[in-house]
Amino acid sequence: MLTIYGKRWGQDGYCDGASRRDFIKIGGMALGGLSLPQMLAADDVAGTGSNHRAIINIYMPGGPSHIDMWDLKPDAPAEIRGDFRPIKTNVPGIEICELFPKMASMMDKFIPIRSIADADGRHDAYQCMTGWKRGQQMPREGRPNWGSWVSHLQGNVNNSVPANCDMMYPTGNGTWGEVGDGGFLGVKQSPFGLVEKDPTKSSANMVLQGITLNRLRDREKLRSAFDSFRRETDSSGVVESMDVYHQQALGILTTSKLVDALDLSQEDPRVLARYGENDTTYQRDGAPKMVRNFCVARRLVEAGARVVSLNYSRWDWHGGDGMNFPRSRQEFPLLDQGMAALITDLHERGLDKRVSVVLWGEFGRTPKINKNNSRDHWPRVSCAMLAGGGMKTGQVIGSTNKRGEHAVDRPVKFQEVFATLYKNVGIDSGKVRFFDKTGTPQYMVEPGIRPIHEII
């Protein structure tokens, strides 16, 4: 959540009543009260270049069912195969669930991974947000969010949009909404939070001191206010006396580039309609089904974000309610529509070589259906879907045994996926070493982990 705190009119106020000092102060970012200029001042990374590459990380809280989505077992006994049947895709030999017809029709643009084999087994986002297991030896200052590495090594594309953007909604099960922070890289690399607890407050939940995104259709009034602030600060010599980081902060808050990216009223209605409609209702203790945030993520990377993390809905359906198959019938078609729209957008805009997408959860589901006609937690194997990034799409990575219980071909680690994504944005994770405050060398991924060679 971004909030610009201001004073009342008549108290040295500008634009919306904010003072010069208050106007460039950021709150609600889970950064311990750190101001935006302080955050930028600590992020003096040069050489970002013009070849802007980006990653969108879509996390599915709760553990999506690998065996019902991308790895169906139609020849298995009824207690294994479940309610759904596979359908052919536009790539011969690849089949996925019948409830994903849009993705099936463009499977040449996707890479299903069916053999992720090192899930931690914990019910949280940590492994999908860092690549590491919580049980592994933890550095004193904690491990950084995956995007913190990218912002640390590559810096901002421009001064108007943060490199590392967080669109993870806080959740009732708190660990499903934890994007992480800068860890040993420092709070300056923490993700820049862009959403509020209540997704109904505005279309993308960013608030600028009395100016919500629902009011941004009055573009001239907003820009007039920003221009007035610039003129007054320029004439007083304030901007000239600011150091470069305060000027960057001013750039973020007064160009409206970030706000514009979040404002879906500026999107072509025909494009937006492809994504389907948002459901702002929280899925029990999970996240809301803000499927149009997939479009927001695309707009953010176009504006200059290098990495965007978001959580989507709730995928833990195995209790006494027996909701695995009924909820799948509700959830799968909307996810199918949103993912197909996102990847179509990237290709139509010529971004498919520069923007990578990963869709995944913390583990899979039990192949054997339980007494409640649902599937329980299954860390032995899970799945992911990759797209874009210039990868060799239209192929499957890995396979499981005939019951979907464990990987039998090409077991994949979470960190291999991250190493691949890092490679896609131009970072060789195997060559990066960072010394924390204790002098201990720290790594992006474990030594020896390499990208998935089949798709690079």
C-alpha distance from residue 370 to each of 78, 142, 234, 321, 324 (Å) = 12, 37, 67, 12, 10
300 token code pair:
């953010």
Residue 211, pLDDT > 50, answer no
In this prediction, residue 194 carries a pLDDT of 86
**Residue 87 — pLDDT band, cuts 50, 70, 90?**
very high
Cβ neighbours of residue 383 closer than 8 Å, sequence gap 6 or more: 64, 66, 69, 70, 71, 112, 113, 114, 116, 360, 364
d(CA 374, CA 323): 6
Position 172 in a domain: yes
More confident residue, 12 or 270: 270
Position 387 in a domain: yes
- Residue 130's CATH number: 3.40.720.10
Q: Average pLDDT, stretch 51-56?
A: 91
Type of residue found at 102: K
d(CA 395, CA 409): 14
In this prediction, residue 7 carries a pLDDT of 31
Where would I find the H helices in 112-188?
Answer: 126-130, 146-154
| 296-353 pLDDT tens trace | 999 999 999 999 999 999 999 998 878 999 999 999 999 999 999 999 999 999 999 9
Pick the most confident of 20-24, 26-30, 54-58, 199-203.
54-58
The tally of domains found in the chain comes to: 1
In this prediction, residue 227 carries a pLDDT of 59
| 415-432 pLDDT tens trace | 999 999 999 999 999 999
DSSP secondary structure string, 203-257? SS--EETTEEGGGTT-HHHHHHHHHHHHHHHHHTTHHHHS-HHHHHHHHHHHS-H
Position 429 in a domain: yes
Residue 249, pLDDT > 80, answer no
In this prediction, residue 188 carries a pLDDT of 85
| 372-390 pLDDT tens trace | 999 999 999 999 999 999 9
Position 262 in a domain: no
Residue 269, pLDDT > 50, answer yes
Residue 371, pLDDT > 70, answer yes
More confident residue, 437 or 319: 437
Q: Residues 246, 251, 256, CA angle at the centre, nearest 5°?
A: 145
Residue 240, pLDDT > 70, answer no
In this prediction, residue 245 carries a pLDDT of 47
Residue 415 has, within 13 A of its CA and on its CB side, a CA count of: 15
pTM over 0.85: no
Where would I find the H helices in 87-189?
Answer: 101-104, 126-130, 146-154
Residue 439, pLDDT > 90, answer yes
Q: Which domain holds residue 396?
A: 53-216+274-443
d(CA 361, CA 194): 21
| 184-210 pLDDT tens trace | 999 889 998 888 656 655 433 344 333
Residue with tokens 């919306």: 16
Query: Residue 355 forms beta bridges with which residues?
Result: 54
In this prediction, residue 136 carries a pLDDT of 85
Residue 72, pLDDT > 60, answer yes
Position 165 in a domain: yes
Q: What percent of the chain has pLDDT over 90?
A: 70
In this prediction, residue 347 carries a pLDDT of 98
Residue 51, pLDDT > 70, answer no
Q: Average pLDDT, stretch 200-227?
A: 47
Type of residue found at 42: A
| Average confidence score pLDDT of the chain | 84
Position 235 in a domain: no
Residue 54, pLDDT > 90, answer yes
Residue with tokens 């299954």: 378
Residue 153, pLDDT > 90, answer yes
Position 158 in a domain: yes
Position 46 in a domain: no
β-pairing verdict for 164-167 and 307-311: parallel
In this prediction, residue 47 carries a pLDDT of 38
C-alpha distance from residue 422 to each of 160, 412, 452 (Å) = 23, 16, 11
Q: Which region among 242-246, 386-390, 402-406 has the lowest average model confidence (pLDDT)?
A: 242-246
User: What is the spatial order of strands in the sheet that 307-311 belongs to?
Assistant: 110-116, 382-388, 355-360, 54-59, 307-311, 164-167, 192-193
**Residue 254 — pLDDT band, cuts 50, 70, 90?**
low
**Residue 231 — pLDDT band, cuts 50, 70, 90?**
low
d(CA 193, CA 310): 10
